[in-house]
């Protein structure tokens, strides 16, 4: 039996509008949430036109002209704007009848290309029971007929399986949000034996180690550690006169585990380092789960991934910005401060879910608005932009040299000779050590 996708009713109208505006075809992404029981689609977003298409007002006439790389790049950008629990769970194409025959082959290629790109950037590992099916939706622009199939992205030889596409009203309003603030203090050594210091590569390696700490961490929800299979809303009272539970859980604390004991020090080696990178600050994290009897395990997993993703995405954005503004080969740093972009949230109409984005201190609201129109095909008003993290802007001469407050996540790079203990643990030893809990 194939999967069933429960789809926000407004998406049907959106796809219908696209079919009248774009001929002979238009592609886009499907955004939602996968679970072992149900899959939810809360948004469809068309692929933004390329510059030459905007200027010349031209549209391709054959499926061979589909730019797989462009659609994949769009999916990567959109994935940065999704809070925990939401993902790009498929693609769609609206095509004329004569192009419909080959549409599925095109969708299959795009699905696997997107998955390959997103997997490469990911710092967390999918769970064994993770849903790996992705949707390929085909809509005929003439008859409005819908064909939905799925492909298993973990199997390169996967063939299409039929899936049901069911519209449901008010689906976007039925979500529970989980919010927490995580204090970050990551120290990344730069070994003196390295021929050169690649800031991006070393930061990525440090984030990999830190992400394992987050994945192994313990979450306190309303002051309690709950069993994975417990219902998240168990024991909570419904609001008077309302059939829904409170839509937000904010009392969440993240605890990491640290090894202790003499055996820990015995596995350390002293290495000469020529510098270090420090990531320090506090980040606002948010995840969403559908409120149809969510399990604790699903909620915690969504929040863990948001914590990891938001820090990783900000670092990537910073490095991209440095390449654009300073060039790819800037070296000889001695002491440098950079403030990673702040997180912001924007609601979309008729939904309790908020989408995410990032801004540098000198970015204007109009730049954020333009990005939402291009990436998510959504108009955003000034008052809809909610900055999640405060930033001390005093004494900030430029984007390259910042002072920062506790809520400004910053990168600090030191390049100077030093010696310190660089912990190298044997995996078998670390598994049997006693643990203690540390709040982050």
Radius of gyration in angstroms for the set of CA atoms belonging to the chain, rounded to a whole number? 23
User: pLDDT tens for residues 228-243?
Assistant: 888 888 766 554 444 4
- Coil, strand or helix: which one is 355? strand
Lowest average pLDDT, out of 43-57, 236-250, 328-342, 383-397, goes to 236-250
- ∠ at Cα 366 (13, 71), nearest 5°? 50
The average pLDDT across 125-139 equals 90
φ and ψ at residue 81, rounded to 5 degrees: -95, 5
Q: Quickly state the pLDDT bin for 414 (edges 50, 70, 90).
A: low
306 confidence band (pLDDT: 50, 70, 90):
very high
Q: Please list, in sequence order, all residues whose beta carbon lies within 8 angstroms of the beta carbon of residue 278, skipping any fewer than 6 positions away.
A: 185, 186, 187, 188, 411, 412, 413, 414
32: its two tokens: 């939602």
Q: Which comes out higher in pLDDT, residue 271 or 373?
A: 373
Give whole-number Cα distances, 247 to 40, 104, 114, 243, in Å: 17, 38, 32, 12
The 10s digit of each residue's pLDDT in 171-202 is: 888 899 999 999 998 888 887 776 666 778 88
Given CATH 3.40.140.10, say whether it is the number of domain 4-171. yes
How far is Cα 326 from Cα 319, in angstroms, rounded to an integer?
10
CB 420 within 8 A of CB 270: yes
Is the torsion defined by CA of 235, 237, 242, 246 positive or negative?
A: negative
- pTM for this model (two decimals): 0.84
Phi, psi for 414 (deg, rounded to 5) = -115, 135
Residue 409 pLDDT greater than 70, yes or no: no
Asked if the model's pLDDT at residue 423 lies above 50, the reply is: no
Which has more pLDDT, 334 or 44? 44
Per-domain boundaries in the chain: 4-171, 175-439
- Residue 332 pLDDT class (50, 70, 90 cuts): very low
**Given pLDDT bands bounded at 50, 70 and 90, which one contains residue 393?**
very low
Rounded Cα distance between 401 and 136, Å, is 46
Distance CA 150, CA 275 (A): 48
Judge if the upstream peptide bond of residue 24 is cis by omega within 30 degrees of 0.
yes
Asked whether the beta carbons of 89 and 163 are under 8 A apart, the reply is no
Average pLDDT, the chain: 81
For the record, the structure tokens of 113 come out as: 């290309």
Nearest to 71 by CA among 18, 102, 112: 112
Q: With 80 as the cut, is the pLDDT of residue 120 above it?
A: yes
pLDDT of 335 reads 59
* pLDDT for position 406: 31
> Distance (Å, rounded) from C-alpha 257 to C-alpha 217?
6
Position 411 scores a pLDDT of 64
Q: What is the pLDDT of residue 434?
A: 38
């Amino acid at each position: 039996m194939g999967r069933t996708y429960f789809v926000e009713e407004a998406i049907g109208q959106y796809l219908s509008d696209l079919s009248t505006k774009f001929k002979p075809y238009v592609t886009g992404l499907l955004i939602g949430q996968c679970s072992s029981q149900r899959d939810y689609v809360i948004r469809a977003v068309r692929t933004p036109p390329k510059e030459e298409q905007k200027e010349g007002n031209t549209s391709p006439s054959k499926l061979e002209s589909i730019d797989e790389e462009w659609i994949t790049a769009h999916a990567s950008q959109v994935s940065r704007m999704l809070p925990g629990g939401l993902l790009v769970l498929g693609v769609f194409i609206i095509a004329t009848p004569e192009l419909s025959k080959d549409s599925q082959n095109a969708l299959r290629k795009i699905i696997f290309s997107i998955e390959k790109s997103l997997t490469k950037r990911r710092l967390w590992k999918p769970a064994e029971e993770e849903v790996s099916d992705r949707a390929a939706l085909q809509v005929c622009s003439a008859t409005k007929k819908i064909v939905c199939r799925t492909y298993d992205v973990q199997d390169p030889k996967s063939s299409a399986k039929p899936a049901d596409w069911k519209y449901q009203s008010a689906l976007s309003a039925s979500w529970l949000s989980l919010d927490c603030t995580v204090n970050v203090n990551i120290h990344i050594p730069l070994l003196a034996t390295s021929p050169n210091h690649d800031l991006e590569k070393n930061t990525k390696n440090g984030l990999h180690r830190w992400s394992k700490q987050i994945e192994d961490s313990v979450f306190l929800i309303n002051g309690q550690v709950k069993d994975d299979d417990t219902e998240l809303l168990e024991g909570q009272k419904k609001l008077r006169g309302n059939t829904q539970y409170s839509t937000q859980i904010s009392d969440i604390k993240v605890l990491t585990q640290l090894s202790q004991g003499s055996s820990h020090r015995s596995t350390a080696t002293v290495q000469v380092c020529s510098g270090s990178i420090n990531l320090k600050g506090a980040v606002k994290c948010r995840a969403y789960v559908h409120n149809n009897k969510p399990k604790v395990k699903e909620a915690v997993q969504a929040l863990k991934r948001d914590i990891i993703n938001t820090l990783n995405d900000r670092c990537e954005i910073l490095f991209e910005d440095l390449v654009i503004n300073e060039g790819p080969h800037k070296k000889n740093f001695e002491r440098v401060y950079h403030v990673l972009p702040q997180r912001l949230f924007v609601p979309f109409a008729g939904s309790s879910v908020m989408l995410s984005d990032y801004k540098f201190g000198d970015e204007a609201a109009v730049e954020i608005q333009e990005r939402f129109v291009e990436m998510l095909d959504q108009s955003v008003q000034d008052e809809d932009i909610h900055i999640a993290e405060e930033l001390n802007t005093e004494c900030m001469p430029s984007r390259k040299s910042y002072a920062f407050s506790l809520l400004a996540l910053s990168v600090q790079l030191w390049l100077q000779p030093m010696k310190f203990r660089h912990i190298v643990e044997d995996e078998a030893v670390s598994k049997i050590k006693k643990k203690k809990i540390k709040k982050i």
